[in-house]
Amino acid sequence: MTDRQKLQNPQNPLWGGRFAAGPDAVMEAINASVDFDQRLAAQDIAGSQAHCRMLMAQGIVSEADGQAILEGLDQVAAEIADGSFDFKRELEDVHLNIEARLREIIGPAAGRLHTARSRNDQVATDLRLWVRQACDGMEDALVGLQSALVERAEQHADTLMPGFTHLQTAQPVTFGHHMMAYFEMFGRDRGRLADCRRRLNECPLGAGALAGTSFAIDRDMTAHELGFAKPAANSMDAVSDRDFALEYLAALALVAVHLSRLGEEIVLWASPQFAFVTLPDALSTGSSIMPQKKNPDAAELTRAKAGRVIGALTGLLVTLKGLPLTYSKDLQEDKEPVFDASDSVALGLTAMTGMVAEMTVNEGPMAVAAGTGFSTATDLADWLVQNVDMPFREAHEVTGRIVRLAEDQGVTLDQLALEDLQTVAPALTKEVYAVLDPARALAGRSSAGGTAPERVREAVEVARRILADQAQ
């Protein structure tokens, strides 16, 4: 007997009489999914119980057998919850593991549960239930992060900091305004997840392997029992569709990108070169060799996880792109990327919420930095347009010459003497200094959506109303 023959396992009961021998170790390793799809156990049991109740209502399964199945599934659920359930790889997946244990508990009646059902519609239903629940969990986590951002924005509606383009000082803004920018990003993320949830909320159960079933089932009943809006309309699409998983991953990829952008800014802000924020010790690490180091590892790892999530989306897109209808075993590869991306984003949201809520905002260094790089140059150009009736392009050129003058003198714009300003633009008056000081210039940015403190406070109030309304 060869080594490979020695590795052969007993016949898999799922395959019935079609195969004379069971899978060998290689086939078992590539075919088994229970190591990861056991995360669907709660959804699988819920789907099975709904299916069983429908079979009973339709007279397809007797009351006695149906009650035995329902009670047996309750016992299986309890065993899984307390950790005593033994998931076996030779039984391939979560579905057969649960069915096999049910048979041990109630005997042959367990075999009636799979009437008018295939693993194809079963797993499609389970994964939809899982993703639907995950969307709800992400919604809660995003609300938590948005709430932390709103708190920070309210606290720092007047806190001066530099706004950047090209990572160069551009114009003065407030830290509160900066926080509210991320509030908007994560609000769009919530909208995408809500859209995903709405579209996925169709029930595949009853589609069978691909063609429906000859049994007189009630698909509306099972859909209602499981909280779906309706049954999936086409049995072939129902078992082969994984658009909902892709859409969920696409939404998560954008969440991860937004988390990564904020993580990158926190990494910069926490550096001694910026010193805009100080991170809490609980979300920082030290160095094995440099005792002075306080590393923003939570922000860095949150930033890094965007790569994993984007990879999960890309991987599943490539897996699905060439599949014919309906079910192919390739679809087993849908779960690991969904689970991993979901875990990564959930962890990132928790870490980022903690950093936003607990970091110390260093207002002094921010204010100093806001005055560097001639950040009020645009305000000077706007003043020339508004007070001297100068065309903006001319005002832009004049301001550039004034910036060069300040650069040559090694001073900021508000430190230039009026006489020096007037050598470039004779029409300038002392009133111009009101817009050359970064703190005073902020008040002028009062257009809708602008950074003026009054606008930031208005945005905070609107955000609080949005969060309160959505909570209801």
Residues tagged active-site? 166, 287
What is the CB neighbour count within 10 angstroms for residue 318? 10
- Tell me which residue of 112, 115, 73 sits closest to 94, measured CA to CA: 73
SS3 state of residue 27? helix
Confirm if 4 and 24 have CB atoms less than 8 A apart. yes
User: Cα separation of 87 and 34, whole Å?
Assistant: 7
Which amino acid does the sequence have at 273? Q
User: Cα separation of 257 and 185, whole Å?
Assistant: 10
What is the CB neighbour count within 10 angstroms for residue 178? 25
- Tell me which residue of 308, 114, 109, 142 sits closest to 205, measured CA to CA: 114
Going by DSSP bridges, is the β-strand pair 202-203/230-231 parallel, antiparallel, or unpaired?
A: parallel
Treating both helix axes as pointing N-terminal to C-terminal, what angle do 175-200 and 243-269 enclose, rounded to 10 degrees?
A: 170
Backbone angles phi, psi at 325, to 5 degrees: -75, 140
Kindly provide the b/e burial profile for residues 6-17, where b requires at least 16 CB atoms within 10 angstroms of the residue's own CB: eebeeebeeeee
Cα separations (Å) of 58 from 45, 73, 311?
A: 20, 20, 45
Joined tokens for residue 264:
């990158």
3-state helix, strand, coil in the chain (%, to 5): 70, 5, 25
Residues 6+ apart with CB under 8 A from 245: 127, 131, 316, 334, 338
R_g of the chain computed on alpha carbons = 31
SS3 state of residue 295? strand
Cα separations (Å) of 369 from 144, 333, 409?
A: 30, 50, 19
User: Cα separation of 39 and 97, whole Å?
Assistant: 12
What is the CB neighbour count within 10 angstroms for residue 350? 15
